Amino acid sequence: MSSRITAASACREKHARNHAPRAAADFSKPTCAKSASTAGFTIIEALVALALVAVLLAAIAPLMAVAHRGIRSVEQHIALVSAARSIEAGLPARDQLTEDTLTGELAGNRWRVDILPFSVRGIDGGEPSRWTPQTIVITVRSPSGATLRLNTVRLSRRRSE
């Protein structure tokens, strides 16, 4: 650093000796050719800058990995929900819904639908209704093992006896 100060002061002194006093309108600074030892960055400065960039990238990389995993998880969940909605839309009509288990595969996802009688404890049946509730359990499993389970209730007309 001291060699730079010395070189700069030597340049100013040389310029002052070689030139007459400047006119009032000439406010330009003296220019001197820089020597090879003072031009640009030193190798130490470049290495420090590279080390700083490496540390910053090392700090950011885990955050990017977590964000990528989170995005992948959300995409997988959306695919499972979409498959479950498609399966639910393809269920038989209410009057054709019987207690059964259906299975299959849709877009690489294995699915299972369980149609069960709806049971709730503590509810008085009272007067018989025209409707019979049935529990529908839709389970969709992706190839990676992620599972989505959707529980819902459908009403079907009670069959006349």
DSSP per position, the chain: -HHHHHHHHHHHHHHHHHSPPPPTT--PPP--PPPTTTSS--HHHHHHHHHHHHHHHHHHHHHHHHHHHHHHHHHHHHHHHHHHHHHHHTSPPGGG--SEEEEEEETTEEEEEEEEE---TT----SPPSEEEEEEEEEEE-TTS-EEEEEEEEEEEPPP-
Identify whether 45 is part of a domain.
no
> pTM of whole model > 0.85?
no
Identify whether 141 is part of a domain.
yes
139 lies in the same domain as 86: yes
pLDDT in tens, 18-33: 555 555 555 555 555 5
pLDDT in tens, 97-156: 788 898 999 888 999 999 988 877 766 666 777 788 889 999 999 999 899 999 998 888
pLDDT at 2: 47
Range of the domain at 103: 70-157
Identify whether 47 is part of a domain.
no
- State the total domains in the chain: 2
pLDDT at 1: 47
100 lies in the same domain as 140: yes
Identify whether 19 is part of a domain.
yes
76 lies in the same domain as 150: yes
